[in-house]
C-alpha cells in the first residue's frame, strides 16, 4: 500500500502496548494508505435501531455505497426488538450482523462481557483503515469515555449523546413573572405556583418503571446521591432518600393523574397538548415540540439547563454509538461504515436536523450556525448540559435490572409508599444483583 | 291473535337489532376511533376534548405508510405465509382431526396441543439456529412452518368436536356400500363439518396474519410481514399516530375480505337429515 | 359393530401421521434446547460457555423468587377473569347472531374484527384511549357523569383495564367457534322438543348447551392457553407496571431472557410456564371428555 510494512507493524505494537497500559491515547498516524474503496464489492449487513440519528443516517447510506463501492443492507427495528434480534443472532453465532447501533447506557458492559463488541482500538490506530480527517480527539471527553471499557478497549464510535434538559412553558412563566430555577430548592415553589389543574399541571416526569430510571438522576445527582459507591450499592443514603422523596412528591402533588405509569409518550403528549408547565427529559423530544403539525405549544417552549443542587450541577447523559460485531466476517469493512456514520460530515448533517452529536467541532460548524433548526436556547442548553454531563446509569452488566429495581421503588413512592422503606428494599435487591453479576 | 303476533314479531326484530347494536358498540367504537386517528394530523390525535366528527382530515398517514414502507411487499408476504400456513394446516389437520375423533386418539391430540402451549419465546433461539443451519432464514418455508405451530392445533382441536358429531351410522352405511375410508372422510364427513372448517380456516389465517414474534426473528428483508410495519411506527421520540392507525386499518382490510367471503359458508340450520330412520 | 376399525386399520395411522410428524419435527429441538438450557447458567456470552448447575434454577423459582410466585398468581387471576367474561359474552353474541337476518354476513364479519387487528396496534390505540387526561375513555366516562378512571395508570386498576382490552379483542374467538358450533347442531332434537311443548329457554338449557359444550370447552381451552401466555398488550401498555402490578409469567420470562440475559433462568421459567399451561389444559381436556358423546 506504500507504507513500509516494518514501520507500521512496530507502530501497531507500540499502540497495543499503550492500550494495555491505560486509557487509549490517540497519536496521529501517517496519512497515507487510506482509501474508502479498500473493500470494494463487499456486502455489509447492519442492524439499526429506530432513532432520530438513524433516520437521518439512512437517507445517506447510498452515499456511502458509492463512496466505498460496497453494498449495504440494513434492518431498522425499535430498540427492544433490535436488541432481541441481536441476542438471538449472536447467541446462535450466525455471523449475520456486521455493524450495529448500540445503546451504550443499556448494553455497554453487558455486550462487552458477552464478547459481542469488536474492539476498535487497532482500527483507529491503523492509518490505512482510518481516514485522516476522522480525528478521534474531536469527540468530547464524555463521549469518548462513554464508549471505552474499563480495560481501555473502545467498543463503539460515539454517535448520539442525549442530555437531559429543562423544558418549560415560556408563556406560563412569563405570565407569572417566573424564570427557570437555578437550584432544586427553587423548583418546588415554582411548580406549585404553576400548578392549576385541570387546565395546567405543574410538572410531568416519567413514572413508568425502567423508563423513569434515566430521568431520575436529574434529581438524584444534584441532591448528592448516586447508585454506586466503591462498587457497592448506595441506594440507602440520606441523599438518595431525599432525592426519591423530591421526585415522587413532585409527581404525587403536581403531576397529571396517572403519571405513575407515564412513559415518554404520555409525558410528551401531555406537554405538547399544553397540559403541563414543566417537563424534564432527554433533549431529543424538543424537535417535536417545535413542529406545528404535532404540538400546540410551538414557540412557547423554553429550554434551560437542569437546576443544580447541594450535590452539584449535573445533566444525565446517555450515549449511543456505532459498533462492529465480533462475529462479523468483514470487520474492517464494517469499521469503514461506522467511521463514515460518525464522520464530521455526517455529524453536521445530524445536528442540522436537530439531532445532538458527540463531536465538539460540529457544534461550532458554520453550516449549523447558518441554518439553526431549533431555537437558540436549545443549542445553549444542550451544549451547557454536555459540559456538565455525567453518565446517568451505572456501568454495570445488570443495568437493565438496576433500572427495574430503582424504577419500581420510584413507582411505589409515587403511589405513596415512604421513601426510606422502598429504598431499603431496592438497596437489598441491588446489592444482591451486584453480587450475582459483577466481578 | 294475528295482530298480536305481528306486533310481537316487529318488537322482537327491533329488540334484536337494538341488542345487536349494544353488543357491537365497543367493537365499532374502537375501530371508528382508529379510523379517525388514521385521518387526523398528529396534533389532533392526542387533543382533548377528543374530536369525533369534526376534525381536519388528512391522508398523510396513509401516504406515509405507502411511501415509507414497501407496504405491498409486506402485504404480499403476509398473504403468502397466512394462506400457505392455513392450506397446509387444513391439509394435514383435517385428516388428523378426523382420525382422532373417529378412533379416540387422545394422546396424539395432546402432542399437537403441546406445540401451542410452549411459550413463543422458547422457540426463538432454537428455531433460529435450526433454520439458519438449513439456510432457511428469510424464506417463506420457514415462516409457513413456524406459523403452523399456532394454527394447526386450533384447526385440529376444534375440528375434533365437529367430526365427533358426524353420526357413525352414516359412515358405516357408506363403508358397507364399498366406500373406502378416505372416501368416507372426503365425501361424507367433510361436507358435514363445513362450518367448522370455515371457522378454523379463518382463525388460522388471522393468527398467522398477526404473528409478529416469529417474523421478527425469521423473516428478512424479502419476507418481512405486515405487523413489523406497524411496530416501526414507534420510534425513539414519538409515536406516529396517524401512520400507525393507517397501517393498522390497512392491515385489517385483507382479512376482512377473506372473512366476509368465508362467512357465507357458515350456514345456519344444517341438517343431518340424510340418515334414513 | 364399527366397521371402520375393521376395514381400514392403516387409516388410523396414515391420517394423523403428517400432522403429528410436522409438529414433532418443529418442536423437538426447541423442547430439548429449552430443557437443556434450564439446567445451565449462562448470560448469552460468546466468551464463556453455559455452566451446568442442575436443578438450581428450578429451586430458585419455587423457593427463592417471590416475584415469580406473585406473577403466577397474577397470571392465573388475569386468565380467569378474562376468559370467563369472554365466554359469557361470546356465547351470548353467538346465540344472538345465529339466525337469518338482514346484514348477517356483514355483521358477523365486523364482530370478528377485534381479533383480526394487529394486537400491538390495538394496544397502542388503547394506551391513548386510556390516557387519564387526554384519552377518549375518560372523556366518555365523565360525559356519563362518572369520575375519571385511572385505567392502566394505577396499580389497583391496571390489571382490570388490561383484562378489558383482552376481552374486547378475544371475545370474537369464542363467538366464532360457538357460531360454527350452533350452525351444525341437528334440527331433530329441537323439532322433537317443540312437539313436546318445550319453551325456548328449556330448549337452550337442555339441548343447545349440552350439544355445544364440547366445542365450547375447546374454545375456552385455547383462550385459556393464550390468556395464560398473554404478552403483547401487557408489554405495550404497562410493561408489567405500575410496580409489577401487571407482571405475568410471560412478561417476567421475556425480561429475564432479553433484558437481563439470564438465559438459563429464563429457560427454567419457560418450563414452569409450560407446566402451568399444560396442567390447566389437561384439566380442561378432562372436563371436555366428560361431556363428549
Cβ neighbors of B100 (< 8 A, separation 6 or more) are B106, B108, B109, B156, B160, C16
8 Å CB contact of C243 and A400: no
Determine, for residues A55 and B235 on separate chains, whether the beta-carbon distance falls below 8 Å. Answer: yes
The predicted structure's pLDDT at residue A10: 45
CA–CA separation, A68 vs A74, rounded Å? 16
pLDDT at C201: 79
Of the pLDDT bands very low, low, confident and very high (cuts 50, 70, 90), residue B4 is low
pLDDT 10s digits, A288-312? 898 888 899 999 999 999 999 999 9
Interval B117-133: pLDDT, tens: 999 889 988 988 888 88
Tell me which H or E stretch contains A194: helix A184-194
Flag whether residue C152 sits within 8 Å of chain A, measured between CB atoms. yes
Asked if A198 and C133 come within 8 Å (Cβ–Cβ), the reply is: yes
Ordered by start, the domain boundaries in chain A are 34-161+317-389, 164-316+394-437
Match domain C73-262+269-289 to its CATH number in 3.90.550.10, 1.10.3720.10, 3.40.50.300, 3.40.50.2000.
1.10.3720.10
The answer, yes or no, to whether residue A8 has pLDDT greater than 70, is no
Return the SS3 of C52. strand
- Position with higher pLDDT, A31 vs A124: A124
A374 vs A399: CA distance, rounded Å: 33
C184, B102: Cβ pair inside 8 Å? no
- Cα C171 from Cα C189, distance rounded (Å): 28
Would you say domain A34-161+317-389 falls under CATH 3.40.190.10?
Answer: yes
pLDDT tens-digit series, residues A91-130: 888 888 999 999 999 999 999 989 999 999 999 999 899 9
User: Under DSSP, is residue A169 helix (H, G, I), strand (E, B) or coil?
Assistant: strand
> What is the distance between the alpha carbons of residues A119 and C63, in angstroms, rounded to a whole number?
41
| pLDDT of A31 over the 60 cut | no
Instruction: Find, in chain C, the residue whose alpha carbon is nearest to that of A262.
Output: C153
Residue with cell 375440528: B159
Which CATH number does the domain A164-316+394-437 belong to among 3.20.20.60, 3.40.190.10, 1.10.8.50, 3.20.20.70? 3.40.190.10
Comparing B233 with C226, the larger pLDDT belongs to C226
- CB-CB neighbors (< 8 A) of A55 in chain B: 235
CB pairs under 8 A between A and C: 108
pLDDT of residue B264: 66
- Which chain C positions have a beta carbon within 8 Å of B165's beta carbon? 184, 293
Distance to chain B for C180, nearest Cα, Å? 5
Q: Residue B1: pLDDT band by 50, 70, 90 thresholds?
A: very low
B47–chain A nearest CA distance, Å: 6
Nearest to A296 among B43, B235, B238 (CB): B43
pLDDT of residue B276 exceeding 70, the answer is: no
Instruction: State mean pLDDT over A49-74.
Output: 92
Confidence of residue A231 (pLDDT cuts 50, 70, 90): confident
Of A224-238, A386-400, B41-55, give the lowest mean pLDDT range.
B41-55
Which letter, b or e, does each residue of A287-318 get, where b requires 16 or more Cβ atoms within 10 Å of its Cβ? Answer: bbbbeeebbbbeebbbbbbbbbbebebbbbbb
CA distance A7 to chain C (A): 33
- Residue B74's pLDDT is what? 87
Asked if this assembly's ipTM is beyond 0.90, the reply is no
| Domain map (residue ranges) of chain C | 1-27, 73-262+269-289
* Residue A3, pLDDT score: 40
Query: For A283, which DSSP code?
Result: G
Question: Which chain C residues are Cβ-neighbours of A256 within 8 angstroms?
Answer: 132-133
Fold of domain B65-263: MetI-like fold (1.10.3720)
* Residue ranges for chain C with pLDDT beneath 70: 1-8, 291-293
Q: Could you tell me the residue ranges of all domains in chain B?
A: 2-58, 65-263
pTM exceeds 0.80 for this model: yes
Range 403-432 of A in CB contact (< 8 A) with C: 404, 407-408, 411-412, 415
Q: How confident is the model at residue A19 (pLDDT cuts 50, 70, 90)?
A: very low
- Mean pLDDT to the nearest integer, B45-60: 85
Amino acid at each position: 500500500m506504500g507504507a513500509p510494512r516494518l514501520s507500521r507493524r512496530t507502530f501497531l505494537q507500540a499502540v497495543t502496548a499503550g492500550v494495555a497500559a491505560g486509557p487509549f491515547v490517540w497519536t496521529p498516524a501517517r496519512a497515507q494508505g487510506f482509501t474508502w474503496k479498500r473493500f470494494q464489492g463487499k456486502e455489509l449487513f447492519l442492524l439499526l435501531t429506530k432513532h432520530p440519528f438513524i433516520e437521518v443516517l439512512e437517507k445517506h447510506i447510498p452515499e456511502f455505497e458509492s463512496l466505498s463501492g460496497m453494498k449495504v443492507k440494513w434492518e431498522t427495528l425499535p430498540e427492544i426488538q433490535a436488541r432481541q434480534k441481536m441476542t438471538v443472532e449472536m447467541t446462535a453465532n450466525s455471523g449475520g450482523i456486521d455493524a450495529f447501533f448500540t445503546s451504550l447506557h443499556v448494553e455497554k458492559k453487558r455486550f462487552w462481557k458477552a464478547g459481542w463488541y469488536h474492539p476498535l482500538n487497532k482500527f483507529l490506530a491503523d492509518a490505512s483503515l482510518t481516514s485522516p480527517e476522522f480525528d478521534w480527539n474531536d469527540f468530547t471527553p464524555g463521549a469518548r469515555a462513554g464508549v471505552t471499557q474499563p480495560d481501555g478497549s473502545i467498543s463503539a464510535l460515539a454517535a448520539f449523546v442525549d442530555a437531559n434538559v429543562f423544558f418549560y412553558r415560556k408563556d406560563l412563566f412569563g405570565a407569572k413573572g417566573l424564570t427557570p430555577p437555578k437550584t432544586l430548592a427553587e423548583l418546588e415553589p415554582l411548580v406549585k405556583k404553576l400548578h392549576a389543574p385541570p387546565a395546567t399541571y405543574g410538572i410531568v416526569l416519567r413514572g413508568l418503571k425502567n423508563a423513569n430510571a434515566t430521568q431520575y438522576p436529574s434529581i438524584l445527582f444534584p441532591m448528592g446521591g448516586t447508585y454506586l459507591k466503591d462498587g457497592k450499592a448506595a441506594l440507602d443514603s440520606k441523599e438518595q432518600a431525599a432525592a426519591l422523596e423530591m421526585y415522587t412528591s413532585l409527581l404525587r402533588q403536581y403531576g397529571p393523574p396517572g403519571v405513575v405509569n407515564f412513559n415518554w409518550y404520555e409525558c410528551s403528549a401531555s406537554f405538547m397538548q399544553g397540559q403541563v408547565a414543566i417537563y424534564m427529559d432527554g433533549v431529543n423530544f424538543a424537535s417535536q415540540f417545535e413542529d406545528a403539525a404535532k404540538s400546540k405549544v410551538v414557540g412557547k417552549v423554553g429550554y434551560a439547563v437542569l437546576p443544580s443542587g447541594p450535590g452539584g450541577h449535573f445533566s444525565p447523559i446517555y450515549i449511543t454509538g456505532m459498533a462492529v460485531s465480533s462475529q462479523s466476517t468483514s470487520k474492517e469493512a464494517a469499521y469503514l461504515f461506522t467511521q463514515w456514520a460518525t464522520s464530521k460530515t455526517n455529524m453536521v448533517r445530524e445536528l442540522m436536523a436537530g439531532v445532538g452529536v458527540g463531536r465538539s467541532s460540529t457544534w461550532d460548524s458554520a453550516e449549523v450556525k447558518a441554518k439553526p433548526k431549533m431555537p437558540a436556547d436549545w443549542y445553549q442548553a444542550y451544549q451547557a448540559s454536555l459540559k456538565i454531563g455525567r453518565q446517568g446509569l451505572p456501568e454495570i452488566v445488570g443495568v437493565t435490572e438496576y433500572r427495574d429495581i430503582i424504577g419500581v421503588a420510584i413507582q411505589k413512592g409515587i403511589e405513596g409508599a415512604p421513601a426510606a422503606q422502598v429504598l431499603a428494599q431496592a438497596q437489598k435487591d441491588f446489592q444482591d444483583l451486584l453480587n450475582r453479576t459483577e466481578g | 291473535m294475528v295482530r298480536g303476533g305481528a306486533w310481537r314479531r316487529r318488537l322482537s326484530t327491533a329488540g334484536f337489532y337494538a341488542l345487536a347494536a349494544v353488543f357491537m358498540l365497543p367493537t365499532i367504537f374502537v375501530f371508528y376511533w382508529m379510523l379517525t386517528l388514521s385521518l387526523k394530523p398528529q396534533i389532533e390525535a392526542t387533543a382533548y376534548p377528543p374530536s369525533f366528527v369534526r376534525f381536519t382530515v388528512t391522508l398523510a398517514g396513509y401516504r406515509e405508510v405507502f411511501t415509507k414502507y414497501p407496504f405491498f411487499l409486506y402485504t404480499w408476504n403476509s398473504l403468502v405465509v397466512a394462506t400457505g400456513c392455513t392450506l397446509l394446516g387444513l391439509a394435514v389437520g383435517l385428516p388428523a382431526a378426523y382420525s382422532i375423533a373417529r378412533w379416540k386418539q387422545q394422546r396424539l391430540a395432546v402432542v399437537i396441543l403441546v406445540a401451542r402451549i410452549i411459550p413463543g419465546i422458547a422457540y426463538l433461539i432454537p428455531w433460529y439456529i435450526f433454520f439458519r443451519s438449513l439456510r432457511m432464514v428469510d424464506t417463506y418455508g420457514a415462516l409457513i412452518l413456524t406459523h403452523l405451530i399456532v394454527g394447526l392445533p386450533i384447526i385440529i382441536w376444534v375440528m375434533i368436536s365437529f367430526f365427533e358429531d358426524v353420526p357413525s351410522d352414516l359412515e358405516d352405511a357408506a363403508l358397507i356400500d364399498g366406500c373406502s375410508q378416505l372416501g368416507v372422510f372426503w365425501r361424507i364427513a367433510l361436507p358435514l363439518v363445513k362450518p367448522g372448517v370455515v371457522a378454523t380456516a379463518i382463525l388460522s389465517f388471522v393468527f398467522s396474519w398477526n404473528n409478529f414474534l416469529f417474523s421478527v426473528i425469521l423473516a428478512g428483508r424479502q419476507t418481512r410481514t405486515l405487523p413489523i410495519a406497524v411496530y416501526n411506527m414507534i420510534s425513539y421520540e414519538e409515536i406516529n399516530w396517524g401512520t400507525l392507525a393507517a397501517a393498522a386499518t390497512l392491515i385489517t382490510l385483507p382479512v376482512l375480505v377473506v372473512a366476509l367471503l368465508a362467512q357465507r359458508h357458515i350456514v345456519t340450520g344444517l341438517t343431518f337429515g340424510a340418515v334414513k330412520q | 359393530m364399527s366397521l371402520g376399525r375393521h376395514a381400514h386399520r392403516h387409516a388410523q395411522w396414515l391420517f394423523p401421521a403428517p400432522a403429528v410428524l410436522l409438529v414433532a419435527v418443529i418442536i423437538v429441538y426447541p423442547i430439548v434446547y429449552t430443557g437443556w438450557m434450564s439446567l445451565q447458567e449462562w448470560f448469552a456470552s460468546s466468551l464463556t460457555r453455559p455452566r451446568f448447575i442442575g436443578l438450581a434454577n428450578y429451586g430458585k423459582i419455587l423457593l427463592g423468587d417471590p416475584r415469580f410466585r406473585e406473577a403466577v398468581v397474577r397470571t392465573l387471576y388475569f386468565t380467569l377473569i378474562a376468559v370467563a367474561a369472554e365466554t359469557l359474552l361470546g356465547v351470548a353474541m353467538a346465540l344472538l347472531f345465529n339466525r337469518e337476518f338482514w346484514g348477517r354476513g356483514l355483521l358477523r364479519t365486523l364482530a370478528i374484527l377485534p381479533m383480526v387487528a394487529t394486537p400491538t396496534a390495538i394496544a397502542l390505540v388503547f394506551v391513548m384511549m386510556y390516557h387519564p387526561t387526554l384519552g377518549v375513555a375518560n372523556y366518555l366516562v365523565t360525559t356519563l357523569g362518572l369520575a375519571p378512571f385511572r385505567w392502566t395508570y394505577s396499580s389497583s386498576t391496571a390489571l382490570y383495564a388490561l383484562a378489558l382490552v383482552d376481552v374486547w379483542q378475544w371475545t370474537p374467538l369464542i363467538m366464532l367457534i360457538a357460531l360454527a358450533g350452533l350452525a351444525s347442531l341437528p334440527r331433530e332434537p329441537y323439532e322433537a322438543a317443540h312437539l313436546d311443548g318445550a319453551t325456548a329457554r328449556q330448549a337452550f338449557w337442555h339441548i343447545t348447551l349440552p350439544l355445544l359444550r364440547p366445542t365450547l370447552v375447546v374454545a375456552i381451552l385455547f383462550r385459556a392457553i393464550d390468556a395464560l401466555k398473554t404478552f403483547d398488550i401487557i408489554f405495550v401498555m404497562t410493561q408489567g407496571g405500575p410496580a409489577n402490578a401487571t407482571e405475568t409469567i410471560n412478561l417476567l420470562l421475556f425480561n429475564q431472557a432479553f433484558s437481563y440475559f439470564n438465559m438459563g433462568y429464563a429457560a427454567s421459567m419457560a418450563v414452569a410456564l409450560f407446566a402451568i399451561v399444560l396442567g390447566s389444559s389437561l384439566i380442561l381436556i378432562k372436563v371436555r371428555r366428560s361431556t363428549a358423546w
